[in-house]
Structure 1
């Protein structure tokens, strides 16, 4: 988090190292072809905002620390460090080196200050550790950190985790397991040894993602490929479920009748790649992505002949044959580009753009995943960040794909 000052509303109170409550027996995990490109990416930052709990803050901190220690015993790579061997291969050494736990205060801030603005408030950066930290730095600093920030009427629990170690799917499995163990401790089970969790991660590395290719990096790691200090506006867009379903109906060319919306089914679809839908259709998230592609392209006022790129980070676990365990721990994602001229994106209708995205997602099967891997092995490289041609955008952090 940013250093404390008289003007910044979030100040650090304490910093503690948390270690797994049981020693790891995993040893080393080699970074895969899906992990390695993420060494140039910043740490993932995710968190949850809550109203102020009924228990004292010190009691909450105690529960969080105990639960974090117990959860790390099931997710020991998160308590490890990265290291590179003499051949250039990069590993996670599960050495129980620990993670950081920060306690911070922003008691002049209210929940409304966080959620009311249309833009992400500037002080939200202070809710997370390791802001602007690149994942390669996991060689000499913790792979993860958790921060509890007190607000005037609430608390924020933020987690920063190395993107070369985990993708969003694995991260949320950790976070949900952390919450599960917090609840057990709060229910007075803390004196009992916690032997299992609902969704135990799978650390298998004998998959097609495990490659003999070596990623050669400059001394000190990959360089950031854009100006980190350039002003960046982060905007929050909220869409009602009714608006989303109207978009989906428009993209699929069907009439939406009153009562058609099944919120439970839609949520289940989001969590399971729409496997509850028996017929192929453009998903609500693809419909929304098409809307954003069109709106951003129109706003950029690009020449009609300019090629635009819309990238989607897709989950490969269920696309491989044989499939990876849904609880496979690590990155199992690939970036799918969809190309179209600015003229086509802005002049054609929503359905046309949504179909291009939908077709690309459906076509990303086992053969395509393996082809992407072979192409990367011919030219190992980190994921380039930034918008080099002024015509690209990326959609990530959705389990929908």
Structure 2
């Protein structure tokens, strides 16, 4: 692997929805879940493909098809082509943020870049190469920056023998479910070009507000400095750990047996295993507090449930807190049951209570203020359809993430490349803690390298 590969930007343009946005849809209003993301980074996920052999004008044709299918996708996912607007007034005092989706916006950014590197250069190293961050646009941007930056930016990077499609999407506009619904639809439209493309999952743009609120939420702020905090993570090692379906099944069986139940899921068992492994590796004192946080999709938990295609952010974080001593003195089943209970108790009534509490005292999430040295954060989901996205190049060889929202103890979950219930976890840790985790046989016995 070369020591310092450099991304070369070849071209940049903006893509607008193929058809005009109806006047009735030209404002998109933000919910409590959306606004809470103000100081978090954009979502950054992308797909690595092998380049087909001996195709003349391959990249030119690919770029043209990507742009055309993106313009069709943006017609369905029109908030992604908009810009943020803040309305303020003194009398009466108001502070509102919403998305201007009108047709005079410039649209989504589309970048073509090249990198003198191979697929193997990206995939072979144990740690995720630092150059992966440059495969994405809008590094370090936070969601509030969408007032002046595009809400969606696509970077297509041509490698020597591959192509990487990296997508940076403003978290105000959607969460992981929304992100992959957009990506899946874009792929579906790409595959069906030249035909009357009817997408299989039409996004729902009717955002949820509790009774008596919306569509504009008046925030108790006078200036955006009261919202914004920026976070620069310490030096981290980032690497993938692969768990086969068989390995996860063993963890699940062990957790359920030790808890005398059959309710603990595969992901809850794996989360508990990772939480305990990272906590051991950190070598904290027994009286220190450790927290396992999990991102939970609110859509199916609401009564009535929100549509699966609800386009926006509809996610909360549930937490399990205990002392290091209690976590490590007890077995996997004990920790997994705690994780299960936190998720199972996140029901409609609890969600509405959290929304009501937020409306009474708005809290803006921040890695700087809401994450500590004893925390492990499980984000994303192996349930998302990542490897089903094809852009004329066959199945992706990898799913990778960018700079966004990385901190010490961040764990990003992906479906495994071979499917069948396998999972990949991208774990970010300080170098000394990562080394200790790699030497922990209790943890590594469940890992397939």
TM-score, shorter chain, exceeding 0.5:
yes
Query: TM-score band, normalised by the shorter chain?
Result: 0.7 to 0.9
Corresponding residue SS for 1:34: helix
Look up the match of 2:366.
384
1:364 aligns with 2:322: no
Look up the match of 1:184.
192
1:125 aligns with 2:107: no
| 8 Å Cα contact 2:289-2:322 kept in structure 1 | yes
Deviation of residue 220 (structure 1)? 5.2
Look up the match of 1:105.
114
Distance 2:288 2:158 in 1: 48
Look up the match of 1:202.
204
Distance 2:173 2:200 in 1: 21
Corresponding residue SS for 2:127: coil
1:58-85 Cα offsets, whole Å, 9 max, x none, are 0000000000011100000000011111
Distance 1:140 1:213 in 2: 21
- Which of 214, 217, 225 is matched with 2:219 structurally? 214
- Which of 9, 12, 27 is matched with 1:12 structurally? 9
If each structure's strand is expressed as a fraction of its own residues, which one has the higher value?
Answer: 2
1:319-366 Cα offsets, whole Å, 9 max, x none, are 111111111110000011111111111111111000000011111100
Deviation of residue 223 (structure 1)? 3.4
TM-score (ref. length: structure 2): 0.77
**Cα distance change of structure 1 residues 83 and 399 upon mapping to structure 2, 3 Å threshold:** farther
Look up the match of 1:163.
171
Distance 2:231 2:182 in 1: 30
Distance 1:173 1:208 in 2: 24
| 8 Å Cα contact 1:18-1:69 kept in structure 2 | yes
Distance 2:160 2:289 in 1: 48
TM-score (ref. length: structure 1): 0.86
1:38 aligns with 2:37: yes
Distance 1:319 1:289 in 2: 20
Look up the match of 1:22.
19
| 8 Å Cα contact 1:147-1:159 kept in structure 2 | yes
1:119-167 Cα offsets, whole Å, 9 max, x none, are 1110001111101111101011110011111111111111000011110
1:179-234 Cα offsets, whole Å, 9 max, x none, are 0010012xx33xx5x4x311000011254395545152644574335334x32221
Look up the match of 1:174.
182
Distance 1:197 1:33 in 2: 29
Look up the match of 1:333.
315
Corresponding residue SS for 1:325: coil
Distance 1:363 1:206 in 2: 21
Distance 1:252 1:388 in 2: 29
Structure 1 unmatched ranges of 5 or more = 1-5, 255-278
